[in-house]
Structure 1
Amino acid sequence: MNEMAKEELTLNQLAKEIYAGAGGMENVQSVVHCMTRVRMSVRDDAKVDQAKLKSIPGVLGVVDDEQLQVIIGPGKVNKVAKEMVDLAGVELGEELPHGTGKDLVNAKAAEMKAAQKAKQKKSPIKAVLKDISNIFVPMIPAFVGSGLIAGVAAIMANLITAGTLDAATWQQFVDVLNILKNGMFTYLVIYTGINSAQVFGANPTLGGVIGAVVMLTGMNPDAPIKNLFTGDALAAGQGGIIGVIFAVWLLSIIEKKLHQIIPDAIDIIITPMVSLLVVGLLEIFLIMPLAGFISNGMVGGINWVLSVGGAFSGFVLGALFLPMVMFGLHQILTPIHIQMIGETGMTLLLPILAMAGAGQVGAALALWIKLRKDKELTEMIKGALPVGILGIGEPLIYGVTLPLGRPFVTACVGGGIGGAVIGAIGGVGAIAIGPSGAALIPLIANGRWWGYVLGLLAAYAGGFVATYFFGIPKDKLAEQQLAETTVSAEPMVENKVAAHAIDVFTAVAQGDVHPLEDAADPVFAEKKMGEGYFVEPTSNEIFAPVAGKVSTIFPTKHAIGITTDSGLEVLLHMGINTVELEGQPFEILVTEGQHVTPETKVATADLAAIKAAGKGISMMVLVTNMNDVETYVLEKTGKVTATTEVFKAKTK
């Protein structure tokens, strides 16, 4: 098909053709774009027809790497991506509709599961976080519903304990609510086992059984199973949620291996029995005892922290409590609570530990404000926040902060800040062990509820501030900024190019200038993005390649768009595949709308970090609207200093 025919496709037609080549709209998970490419997450790679995509008029190339990437070129790519999401009725980055009757939480789970199965390069940490999200996001509706019931029951129970409500009248109401609540939280390990098995590809029912093992329901209390490390009796729940996930991961490996070696005739008998036996024994005699051993080892450390007292103790305990819960290590604190209540009539430890959940509330508020365009995330936060305020933290932890990684850490910092405030005030104790959050206020002893409330407010604020400034994942922030800039850029008028103007281009860094065909990336080498050159830099300082106005700075900092006074659209692309580095090696020194010259330092690039990440350091300079160029010439190659004239282009 000739170039004239290529130009005849409308944005709507181009968007539909891309969907068709990607296996249909139903096969596309989500759509975003970068400076030059429409990036799609797909549900089934096998349905993608790359040959068809490459043949579409207006498509400059196709890359199947972390995502399915269709190269359109700057200036047009945002319009094509916007047309694609408009056809689907969603926003950039949101999941496209798939099937019927799915609410936002289930849609999120499907997205995470598809991402887990996709053939993508990703770090082990990101892979673990994806798995955690896959496991827990489907539980969010049950978490929220049960959590609200648990919160109401907690308030009533604590008011009964405090003597505000009459037990004879209200206790049965509390018992009924607790029965409903326990249907979720008592058997959380079983649901975790089932969902973990679905994520890792094991039999879901076997996964549920593996989760149930940590409950030790068949153990004789008069002759308990001994901890191999300490000789003490095993306690139900040791190993926690993380132990269950690890055990089910082992189950998936063993089960898949057995399916390969066991004859089909006896596979249905031998494989589940051997899988359950091997993993169950490992869970009982290794995973749970190991967690118990760690728990016992932590007792001395916790007692020392408590002996130090004050703000230090409060911060350490408030910050570390949630990680302890995840590993099932929090049970070692129950005897300490009981001992404190027996000796002094109250536990000074519980109000401090309650700050951990408050930190999660503050972190969720920051995520809500900072990532307000992410409708799935904000909907989950809206449902989980009231539950978290009432002291039920699971929806926020497992559905929001932990799958995102960094916000979980900053939320723990917020919990530490709240704990430090309570520790500094001193004397803030609870008369009984009960749920935390706002529900614990009636149990605070000696009228010092005000100290507990100050701690809650400090934890909310600490979690909010730490997350707002340090805890937002860069990829999520990039999606947010991309959605905002794309929407604001849509009404802009096409740039007009002055006739017969000459633009002089310079080396953007000290190093070696090369013609574009020498580039390591075939997309650049085949000049699908436009004509130009690149510099292999020997200095971290990066300068503007031409005089003009900064039109675009991509959120991941790896690319800058400049429009010359004559109207040429120039792309400075720093490195090869550096979009995956999420901006870490780069510092941008200019702002959008700023006028620059070849003497303007626009960025610094940590070349060593880029190389260490396995990415190329080539600084690409491209004229992307070549249809407006009459002639061009690369005048100089080889070693140059920054700002040396190397390339000229004349407009038509």
Structure 2
Amino acid sequence: MAEEKMARIAREIYENVGGEKNVRKVIHCMTRVRMTIIDNSKVNMAGLKAIDGVMGIVEDETLQVVVGPGTVNKVAKKMVDMVGVKLGETFPNSEGLSFEEQTLANKAAAKAKYNKPSKLKSVLKSISNIFVPMIPAFVGTGLVAGISAVLSNMVLAGDLNAATWQQYIDIMNILKNALFAYLTIYVGINAANEFGATPTLGGVIGGVVMLNGMNPESPIKNIFTGQPLSAGQGGMLGVLLAVWLLSIIEKKLHEMVPESVDIIVTPTISLILIGLLEIFLIMPLAGFVSDNLIGGINGILNIGGAFSGFVLGIAFLPMVMLGLHQILGPIHLEMIAKTGQTNLLPILAMAGAGQVGAALAIWAKLRKDRTLVQNIKGALPVGILGVGEPLIYGVTLPMGRPFITACIGGGIGGAIIGFFGNVGAIAPGPSGVALISLIAHGKWLVYVLGLLGAYAGGFLATYFFGIPKDAKIKADNYGQEVQMETLQPTLRVVTTPAFEAATVYAPMSGTVKELSEVADEVFSSGMLGKGIAIEPSNGQINSPVDGIVTTVFPTKHAIGVTSDEGVEILIHIGMDTVALNGEGFESFVKQNERVKKGDLMLRVDLDKIKAAGLSAITPIVVTNSSAYKAISVAAKNKVDKGQVLLTIEP
């Protein structure tokens, strides 16, 4: 019977909006079906409002039909199933293929397009979210660093006068170091935002690897070797691991520590625990590997030839990711002191050239993805000049396979230089074309051949073997709105007992507002039921009753709870927060889970809501209000979580 009702509502909605062919796409939020209409003149508003089961209509950028929580996802699912597409996917039209043929094609495309993401994809997406926002800074400072490197190399080679140019080079180095000298701090802040930790604490954890404040006369020792720790050991991956652990510790402490002392206790304990772990385990582990890496590098160099060039060219970028490249500086200097040149640097420089080739292949293969192409356009110039971070962290690494094929390109370039042999640089410097002026004994042509080989190798390996299928599908469908996940709640039937009065307690602390003050007609008009709103002062949402969690929306911005007395309560955190797609929201309960009054159900980052320009005001609505004689607001002005908020008379 319920299934028939959902199908009827879906069918009647289509009948009153001009049919399926007048709808561009369908999505839904917690309470309403949202349709993108092609021709608004075909919509019968009176007919929509008259549908049994429709609570109201909101006309906005999309036509919103309010059917209530627990019903909305079923109706929306029926609507897209009737057409043969997924939620959020553009409806087929009459152009080209027939409606039925287009429907079948859409089904096949949707099946391939919306595969369940793997854990690896989730990790790579997180890395992308951390580093992509930094691309403008990488590009700007990277170009400055590249120009500085070219000028510095020309000064070292004697082509420019140091007295004239050195001050300008110093200024550019100051600008460059504003990012690269403190890169781990920026990464720590972004990683904390991504993992749900406090951003400033993430910055502190990122800064720990710099070892500022360590007593040089009594340095902290590597627990594996007994040697002093070196700044930078652990690299970016060490920072990411430490901040991820910070997010776990911080969340657990928020649950355990009383709110009155949470601001003092949680950050202090979190920093101490993660800081000790980072200094005494993560950094020493990286240091242990780097110390033993010298013997491996020397062994490979002794073998010589194309093989050693290939191995070193492939291995360099993974070394950078682990921060192990820090140990190479002394090796370069030792080689220069003994032989007048470092033969290692030109080979390792090929790794960056492989990234350039890979990026060009991605551009060619995924050129329809305009966002990705823009990132590549910004990162390529600095990559050619030898600054690889924008390409690594903004393009190849988040995609996974292109990072590997880029390393293969670096190996090919290294093999070319190793084959000719005795190609060295007279001073340490960046890679890419900026190193050409430092190549010793006029062998710059061999170095250029290596660069071209790495470009070509990275391009071909990536073009034919390095493009992930999901990235290709995304590019081919660029501009189409990604579907919203659906949730099919199996609402637990609760027998309403006789009661004299039921109580709904405040799920959060904050300022009490009338529903009429909410800037959304669905709530302010009482369309969904009677209740109250709270402007929250913190991001913890607790259960307002003893009962059952009936609905947790996939984006976690709304939750439904049914009390033991049968009172159905909807808590909707913020306005239009469905657009955040779950970012800043964390759920601690599942659908059909039993909760007690005061149990933590959700946590939300209020700063993230405000940063997105959205309101955090939270309606708490009794959606089955019509079943009760009266619903009274007990709280006034300010309310603390756990205080009486609403009283219900049967």
TM-score (norm 2): 0.62
**Which residue of the other structure, out of 308, 320, 325, is the alignment partner of 1:325?**
320
Task: Say yes or no: does 1:308 pair with 2:303.
Answer: yes
Counterpart position of 1:367: 362
Does structure 2 conserve the Cα–Cα contact (< 8 Å) formed by 1:422 and 1:455? yes
* 1:3/1:467 CA distance change after superposition, 3 Å: same
* 1:47/1:333 CA distance change after superposition, 3 Å: farther
Letter matched to residue 50 of structure 1: N
Measured in 2, the distance between the counterparts of 1:189 and 1:19 equals 40
Task: Say yes or no: does 1:9 pair with 2:18.
Answer: yes
Q: Post-superposition shift, 1:121?
A: 4.4
Task: Say yes or no: does 1:230 pair with 2:225.
Answer: yes
**Which residue of the other structure, out of 337, 340, 352, is the alignment partner of 1:342?**
337
Measured in 2, the distance between the counterparts of 1:303 and 1:400 equals 32
Deviations 1:422-446, CA, capped at 9 Å, x for gaps:
0001111000001111000010000
Task: Say yes or no: does 1:274 pair with 2:269.
Answer: yes
Counterpart position of 1:51: 74
Counterpart position of 1:384: 379
* 1:57/1:356 CA distance change after superposition, 3 Å: closer
Letter matched to residue 371 of structure 2: E
Does structure 1 conserve the Cα–Cα contact (< 8 Å) formed by 2:84 and 2:103? no
Does structure 1 conserve the Cα–Cα contact (< 8 Å) formed by 2:202 and 2:243? yes
Measured in 2, the distance between the counterparts of 1:183 and 1:265 equals 38
Does structure 1 conserve the Cα–Cα contact (< 8 Å) formed by 2:132 and 2:393? yes
Measured in 2, the distance between the counterparts of 1:250 and 1:57 equals 41
Deviations 1:516-555, CA, capped at 9 Å, x for gaps:
xxxxxx9xxxxxxxxxxxxxxxxxxxxxxxxxxxxxxxxx
Letter matched to residue 261 of structure 1: M
Does structure 2 conserve the Cα–Cα contact (< 8 Å) formed by 1:58 and 1:72? no
Measured in 2, the distance between the counterparts of 1:121 and 1:4 equals 32
**Which residue of the other structure, out of 105, 122, 125, is the alignment partner of 2:117?**
122
Counterpart position of 1:196: 191
Does structure 1 conserve the Cα–Cα contact (< 8 Å) formed by 2:306 and 2:415? yes
Does structure 1 conserve the Cα–Cα contact (< 8 Å) formed by 2:24 and 2:90? no
SS in 2 for 1:176: helix
**Which residue of the other structure, out of 278, 286, 291, is the alignment partner of 2:286?**
291
Does structure 2 conserve the Cα–Cα contact (< 8 Å) formed by 1:414 and 1:463? yes
Letter matched to residue 207 of structure 2: A
* Equivalences, count: 430
Counterpart position of 2:507: none
Unaligned runs of 5+ in 2: 1-7, 37-68, 481-487, 489-650
* 1:122/1:58 CA distance change after superposition, 3 Å: closer
Counterpart position of 1:36: none
**RMSD between superposed Cα atoms in Å:** 3.2
Measured in 2, the distance between the counterparts of 1:249 and 1:48 equals 37
SS in 2 for 1:229: coil
**Which residue of the other structure, out of 136, 149, 152, is the alignment partner of 1:157?**
152
Task: Say yes or no: does 1:213 pair with 2:222.
Answer: no
Counterpart position of 2:456: 461
**Which residue of the other structure, out of 348, 361, 368, is the alignment partner of 1:353?**
348
SS in 2 for 1:299: helix
**Which residue of the other structure, out of 146, 166, 179, is the alignment partner of 1:171?**
166
Does structure 2 conserve the Cα–Cα contact (< 8 Å) formed by 1:59 and 1:72? no
Does structure 2 conserve the Cα–Cα contact (< 8 Å) formed by 1:11 and 1:80? no
Q: Post-superposition shift, 1:12?
A: 6.2
Counterpart position of 2:601: none
Measured in 2, the distance between the counterparts of 1:125 and 1:249 equals 15
Q: Aligned runs of 1:610-621 on 2, under 5 Å?
A: none
Measured in 2, the distance between the counterparts of 1:25 and 1:244 equals 44
SS in 1 for 2:217: coil
Deviations 1:501-526, CA, capped at 9 Å, x for gaps:
xxxxxxxxxxxxxxxxxxxxx9xxxx
* 1:255/1:58 CA distance change after superposition, 3 Å: closer
SS in 2 for 1:15: strand
Q: Post-superposition shift, 1:17?
A: 4.6
* 1:260/1:336 CA distance change after superposition, 3 Å: same
Q: Post-superposition shift, 1:49?
A: 3.5
Does structure 1 conserve the Cα–Cα contact (< 8 Å) formed by 2:11 and 2:79? no
Does structure 1 conserve the Cα–Cα contact (< 8 Å) formed by 2:24 and 2:35? no
Measured in 2, the distance between the counterparts of 1:4 and 1:350 equals 71
* 1:328/1:78 CA distance change after superposition, 3 Å: farther
Unaligned runs of 5+ in 1: 27-45, 84-91, 93-114, 487-521, 523-652
Q: Post-superposition shift, 1:333?
A: 1.5
Measured in 1, the distance between the counterparts of 2:414 and 2:32 equals 51
Letter matched to residue 224 of structure 1: P
Counterpart position of 1:394: 389
Task: Say yes or no: does 1:428 pair with 2:412.
Answer: no
* 1:11/1:438 CA distance change after superposition, 3 Å: farther
**Which residue of the other structure, out of 244, 249, 252, is the alignment partner of 2:247?**
252
Q: Post-superposition shift, 1:54?
A: 3.5
Does structure 2 conserve the Cα–Cα contact (< 8 Å) formed by 1:430 and 1:444? yes
Counting aligned pairs with the same residue, the percent is 62
Measured in 1, the distance between the counterparts of 2:216 and 2:256 equals 39
Letter matched to residue 228 of structure 1: I
SS in 2 for 1:264: coil
